[in-house]
Structure 1
């Protein structure tokens, strides 16, 4: 499965799949964002929403 998470100008676009949380934590900890946009409701796009504090 390919999952893309984008960060641009303080905007996190999608949060990635829950199963990838351990791999994404270093990215989230170093990222500087204050807004999140979800492209659609599928789990591979929204799965880490609660874990990122969004």
Structure 2
């Protein structure tokens, strides 16, 4: 059962439709490239709480 596994999507696509589709598919957070290590750390800590 992977329903409770947090998902952070990393992509180069920043289109609103893609972000909405990812959220509807169950993605917990979304990071658009390029990003800093600090941004990735923030997103990961957020979903792992």
Q: State the TM-score bracket (shorter-chain normalisation).
A: under 0.3
Q: Considering only CA atoms, is the larger Rg found in Structure 1 or Structure 2?
A: 2
TM-score (norm 1): 0.26
Flag the structure with higher helix content: 2
TM-score (norm 2): 0.27
